[in-house]
């Protein structure tokens, strides 16, 4: 039975200094973090990718760390994610083909309060923004020892494109079940970004206490089935 893990990604108030936006209807803009390591070849900047209006002025010309990458989004052609940090790499390395890797981000809520969907928090919130249906997982040493065909499937990943490959784990999404969502799926309640809703408190193994929006969220098989259903349901139907 498939399981799921959800991890925090994308722009935030530390990197590059502003959250990506979520609009009154729940649509949003995926804004990755900046690239902080030397790369083997030049990578696009926020200005190159048409994201300049969503980052601070001093970040406009910074190179972008396009990870995760979603096919058809920001010029990418495949679904890959890499992570060098043990706190995420450990749970990710335990995923199997057919499991789900969800990505969540803190987003700044835009627009007048009277125009917003009722399930949006007032200022910022935490939202699922995309999913990989896992096709393959490689730990760093497995990637280093892999044949050329296997390595080529991860060639566009941001950690592979660095001068020194540094990912502890790489995940590739199956194109048949992977996507960047059209609408953000709330993990926060409408009361405020720091208050977790039942996708966290009831379905995941996390308590929803403290800074839960920075932690890895784990879902067992039953919870994963529920989560997959809710992702495609109007949030107004289950957040009321």
SS3 92: helix
11 touches 19 (CB < 8 A): yes
- pLDDT of the chain, 240 residues: tens digit per residue: 999 999 999 999 999 999 999 999 999 999 999 999 999 999 999 999 999 999 999 999 999 999 999 999 999 999 999 999 888 999 999 999 999 999 999 999 999 888 889 999 999 999 999 999 999 999 999 999 999 999 999 999 999 999 999 999 999 999 999 999 999 999 999 999 999 999 999 999 999 999 999 999 999 999 999 999 999 999 988 887
Q: Which residue has the tokens 């009277």?
A: 114
SS3 4: strand
The predicted model scores a pTM of 0.97
Question: How far apart are the C-alpha atoms of 7 and 206, rounded to whole Å?
Answer: 12
List, as one string, the DSSP characters of 177-201: T-EEEEEEEESEETTEEEEE-HHHH
Domain ranges of the chain: 4-232
31 touches 50 (CB < 8 A): no
């Amino acid at each position: 039975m498939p399981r799921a893990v959800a991890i925090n990604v994308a722009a935030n108030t530390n990197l590059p200094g502003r959250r990506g936006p979520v609009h009154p209807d729940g649509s949003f803009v995926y804004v990755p973090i900046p690239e902080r390591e030397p790369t083997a070849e030049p990578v696009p900047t926020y200005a190159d990718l048409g994201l300049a209006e969503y980052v601070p002025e001093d970040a406009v010309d910074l190179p972008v760390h396009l990870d995760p990458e979603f096919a058809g989004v920001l010029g990418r052609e495949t679904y890959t994610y890499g992570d060098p940090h043990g706190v995420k790499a450990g749970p990710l390395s335990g995923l199997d083909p057919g499991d789900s890797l969800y990505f969540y981000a803190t987003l700044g809520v835009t627009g007048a309060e009277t125009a917003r969907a009722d399930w949006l928090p007032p200022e910022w919130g935490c939202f699922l923004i995309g999913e990989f249906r896992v096709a393959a997982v490689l730990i760093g040493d497995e990637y280093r020892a892999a044949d050329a065909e296997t390595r080529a499937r991860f060639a566009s990943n941001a950690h592979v494109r660095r001068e020194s490959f540094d990912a502890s784990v790489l995940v590739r999404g199956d194109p048949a079940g992977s996507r960047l969502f059209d609408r953000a799926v709330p993990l926060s309640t409408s009361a405020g970004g720091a208050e977790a809703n039942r996708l966290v408190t009831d379905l995941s193994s996390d308590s929803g206490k403290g800074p839960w929006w920075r932690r890895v969220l784990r879902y067992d098989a039953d919870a994963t089935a529920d989560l997959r259903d809710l992702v495609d349901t109007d949030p107004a139907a289950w957040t009321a």
